[in-house]
Structure 1
């Protein structure tokens, strides 16, 4: 819950963003620069209180003082040197400053940011909740800048809250997000455990909760630094300890972590690819096809590969809640093979169909799939029933006028009945169960199941406003283009495979 002090801090820091935007600094770049400077300032405050037994942390405090003392071009050079020096480290500090660059080219504006907006606050005296919540709100504001693409790393916190409440992580769980973005799932899981176990946590459980019990993987350096800082501000991890956020391609190799809980919203977009810069300076793209012995099928489809990766890494017993686009539910070929294996080898028990208009990335039709991993049972499928909750039909949201709130999803949580045997579930208009036999009998094991009719299509009194209709048209066209692109990619891949086999 946002407090007046949290809102004051956010407003103070955010007001300067408009000034820097005129200099070409995007909102996400601004949040990144704040990350560097806030970290240095808090280190300086702790150094002045004599709480450092670690030379590396003392050097953080010294670095802030050097920025306070420098002016003009000297300040710019000093800041660049600080970023480079800390970026060489192999710990959490190194993740935060990894490949860091100064995006504020005007030394006078950098000085104002340092002196007026950050140095005048006593950040260490603020509670963990205030600092952490303020940073979360800054990240949310950064995600609103659609042009920067930052929204793809930001899952709506209302949806995260629901997924965590249904999974019910505990103090003995190892919790992992293999595509952690800015760390929203990890923070929500940490908060859930603190709220529900609190005083009952043993010292060992508290240590695990602040360290190795919560882990994330992120491919993009800039996003990983935001996640690492986000966790530190919430009291998770240590600046000079091993980073709880690994910066790497999660799909490149089998996980060395076998968590009991996976919460994730893997990146949208079908293909895995890397940017290649040739000797002539021309930029190209190269598709990645992961050949993993622990995968059921080999495919270039990134979303299907994340499903396989999560299935492979999940410990026994383990439970997962994963945001997935519609194509994962109905795509043939590799998609069908993966769905058949998942239904047989895992207990795929719940599917939440999400409405459009809740993600910053446009054109997304997504779902949350809940499944559990149990000991091998070759002869009997683990999935007995898949319960589908249709929260898409008849639901219309926008990011501004009609935002998704937690209350909108409360009925789903009631139907899910967290912590209760699934035999206690009751069917309703939006919540229906489908047996394993019914699922595998569907064409291509299509899990994109609908049964409701949209009342707005039948009732003249429930016509949507023009802006909602326009947005939904854009969403549908964008999603359709993505599907056509996927078909083209699949045909191209089939042609390449046919040519290589000749």
Structure 2
């Protein structure tokens, strides 16, 4: 949890860049990410040096050689503004890009595309000074600082991607309960929020398992995989993972729907994602097996097809989809829903209010939870009508007392008790047979029953004439005419 002091320091950094003319939130975070990476390289080597002092063994593969000491954060921050600006622009950035070409670290690789955009030396000097004041020794604090920066991203990307609120991500992670040996993926990872949350869940809930060498090795190497085709997002996503202590994750460039991902099939135990709702795309760029599953240009449907292909048998998924996926009338919509219900195991639909993604977008969405079985298994599907998520549903998104998420988690974990719930309740089970009869419509409004309160109205004659001393409409009309007559006489 960030203190008010740290938040104020981050706000000052943001304000410094903003007043210098860097007003795009994505650009601000990207420029800060570069500086945090530069500082992180120095911090890492400092830890290695301290270890070398204790053990007497030399550092293996140091980032900075003897001739590169002047490129370290500790030395850069001591320079005057003009010298600092020139050194970072002319030497440190080329050094980072060269690092990207030399080793397999994905973040360093993505730094090849980094562009230095600080407008003047005084701005850079002030930001370096403020970053250096941030206490980033603690992993949780580092992660929280970066999350706070990311929370300032308040616009959707060009391709329909927008940042999923952290509490919604956490809800989805807790619904799927990641396991220590799971291979977890987000094929549209953006800032890697789902991967970070999954890693934090495992740390908190499976600490004992981390003692096991096999689990620890898996956690540090091949547990997390994220792909995206936006290189700016990849740089930010990689840094997000690094800041939270997941340096071994694979967060790399790929258009997940394209033919180049044909080999990424049946590899994952868990997929957590909020894929972009771009609308449509070119058939020629899409993997053939995805089009065979559902012939469409709709990215939200193609991503569902991808998730089914990417999961191992027994793998599970929690995915954000636009509401139209649940009831769309096209052949592609109906086919993907039929596959989920008939051929796989559809577990739950959590319908969310449209304000959840404000101020990014005002779109109605739902979370679909399913398990890949390739042999059916859907018996009853659990529906939940979320009314509140703990925040106001306007652009301000201020905290409120109304929050259905604890109830969602509790009821899903005790789903057997839901069998006696009425269709007028906020959550209930619907049998597969009924869903099939409704032509695989998965919108909660199709099954939820409205409970109307019976209201008894006064007899119309009594309303007109009055009764038991009450004034009727006729008496009111007579009094109004009398008043008008009096006014007319006065005139």
Shorter-chain-normalised TM-score: which range? 0.7 to 0.9
Supply the distance in 2 between the matched residues of 1:256 and 1:24 (Cα, whole angstroms): 45
Kindly indicate whether residue 417 of structure 2 is the aligned counterpart of residue 408 of structure 1: no
What does residue 318 of structure 1 align with? Answer: 315
Task: Tell me the CA shift for residue 393 of structure 1.
Answer: 9.3
What does residue 290 of structure 1 align with? Answer: 286
Supply the distance in 1 between the matched residues of 2:85 and 2:36 (Cα, whole angstroms): 20
Task: Tell me the CA shift for residue 77 of structure 1.
Answer: 2.5
Supply the distance in 2 between the matched residues of 1:92 and 1:257 (Cα, whole angstroms): 23
Q: 132, 138, 148: which one pairs with 1:127?
A: 138
Q: 4, 20, 28: which one pairs with 2:26?
A: 28
Supply the distance in 2 between the matched residues of 1:131 and 1:148 (Cα, whole angstroms): 25
What does residue 431 of structure 2 align with? Answer: 435
What secondary structure sits across from 2:122 in the alignment?
helix
What does residue 482 of structure 1 align with? Answer: none
Supply the distance in 1 between the matched residues of 2:364 and 2:124 (Cα, whole angstroms): 41
Q: Equivalences for 1:16-55 in 2 at 5 Å?
A: 16-25=13-22, 26-49=24-47, 50=49, 51=51, 53-55=59-61
What does residue 15 of structure 1 align with? Answer: 12
Supply the distance in 2 between the matched residues of 1:155 and 1:362 (Cα, whole angstroms): 11
Kindly indicate whether residue 215 of structure 2 is the aligned counterpart of residue 228 of structure 1: no
What does residue 298 of structure 2 align with? Answer: 301
**Structure 1 residues 441, 404: closer, same or farther in 2, change over 3 A?**
farther
Render the CA deviation track for 1:76-130: whole Å, top value 9, x for unaligned.
323442453344354224245141111212122112222x11234563xx21111
**Structure 1 residues 192, 325: closer, same or farther in 2, change over 3 A?**
same
Kindly indicate whether residue 192 of structure 2 is the aligned counterpart of residue 183 of structure 1: yes
Q: Is the 8 A contact 2:176 2:318 kept in 1?
A: yes
**Structure 1 residues 452, 14: closer, same or farther in 2, change over 3 A?**
farther
Supply the distance in 2 between the matched residues of 1:156 and 1:408 (Cα, whole angstroms): 15
What does residue 365 of structure 1 align with? Answer: 364
What does residue 476 of structure 2 align with? Answer: none
Q: Which has the higher contact order (CA 8 A, sep 6+)?
A: 1
Q: Is the 8 A contact 2:160 2:278 kept in 1?
A: no
Q: Once structures 1 and 2 are overlaid, which stretch shifts more, 62-71 or 12-21?
A: 62-71
Task: Tell me the CA shift for residue 394 of structure 1.
Answer: 12
What secondary structure sits across from 2:190 in the alignment?
coil
What does residue 217 of structure 1 align with? Answer: 227
What does residue 136 of structure 1 align with? Answer: 147
What does residue 277 of structure 1 align with? Answer: none
Task: Tell me the CA shift for residue 371 of structure 1.
Answer: 0.4
Q: Once structures 1 and 2 are overlaid, which stretch shifts more, 174-183 or 103-112?
A: 103-112
What secondary structure sits across from 1:268 in the alignment?
coil
Task: Tell me the CA shift for residue 404 of structure 1.
Answer: 6.8
Q: Is the 8 A contact 1:86 1:93 kept in 2?
A: no
Q: How high is the TM-score relative to the length of structure 1?
A: 0.76
Supply the distance in 1 between the matched residues of 2:63 and 2:85 (Cα, whole angstroms): 26
Kindly indicate whether residue 147 of structure 2 is the aligned counterpart of residue 100 of structure 1: no
Task: Tell me the CA shift for residue 302 of structure 1.
Answer: 0.6
Q: How high is the TM-score relative to the length of structure 2?
A: 0.78
Task: Tell me the CA shift for residue 325 of structure 1.
Answer: 0.4
Supply the distance in 2 between the matched residues of 1:218 and 1:355 (Cα, whole angstroms): 27
Supply the distance in 2 between the matched residues of 1:259 and 1:105 (Cα, whole angstroms): 44
Task: Tell me the CA shift for residue 441 of structure 1.
Answer: 2.0
What secondary structure sits across from 1:58 in the alignment?
coil
Task: Tell me the CA shift for residue 75 of structure 1.
Answer: 4.6
Task: Tell me the CA shift for residue 299 of structure 1.
Answer: 1.6
Q: Is the 8 A contact 1:297 1:334 kept in 2?
A: yes
Instruction: Give runs of ≥4 in structure 1 deviating > 6 Å.
Output: 147-151, 393-396
Supply the distance in 2 between the matched residues of 1:431 and 1:74 (Cα, whole angstroms): 60
**Structure 1 residues 302, 394: closer, same or farther in 2, change over 3 A?**
closer
Render the CA deviation track for 1:391-427: whole Å, top value 9, x for unaligned.
149997224254478943111112211xx57576552
What secondary structure sits across from 1:260 in the alignment?
strand
Supply the distance in 1 between the matched residues of 2:233 and 2:427 (Cα, whole angstroms): 36
Kindly indicate whether residue 385 of structure 2 is the aligned counterpart of residue 390 of structure 1: yes
Q: Once structures 1 and 2 are overlaid, which stretch shifts more, 52-61 or 294-303?
A: 52-61
Task: Tell me the CA shift for residue 30 of structure 1.
Answer: 1.5
**Structure 1 residues 54, 249: closer, same or farther in 2, change over 3 A?**
farther
Supply the distance in 2 between the matched residues of 1:30 and 1:94 (Cα, whole angstroms): 19
What does residue 64 of structure 1 align with? Answer: 72
Task: Tell me the CA shift for residue 182 of structure 1.
Answer: 1.0
Task: Tell me the CA shift for residue 234 of structure 1.
Answer: 1.4
What does residue 346 of structure 1 align with? Answer: 344
Kindly indicate whether residue 218 of structure 2 is the aligned counterpart of residue 208 of structure 1: yes
Q: Once structures 1 and 2 are overlaid, which stretch shifts more, 169-178 or 402-411?
A: 402-411
Task: Tell me the CA shift for residue 45 of structure 1.
Answer: 3.0
Over the aligned positions, Cα root-mean-square deviation in angstroms equals 3.0
What does residue 118 of structure 1 align with? Answer: 131
Render the CA deviation track for 1:225-266: whole Å, top value 9, x for unaligned.
11111111211124xxxx511211111133256111111111
Q: Which has more radius of gyration?
A: 2
**Structure 1 residues 64, 326: closer, same or farther in 2, change over 3 A?**
same
Supply the distance in 1 between the matched residues of 2:94 and 2:434 (Cα, whole angstroms): 63
Task: Tell me the CA shift for residue 149 of structure 1.
Answer: 6.6
Supply the distance in 1 between the matched residues of 2:186 and 2:389 (Cα, whole angstroms): 31
**Structure 1 residues 324, 61: closer, same or farther in 2, change over 3 A?**
farther
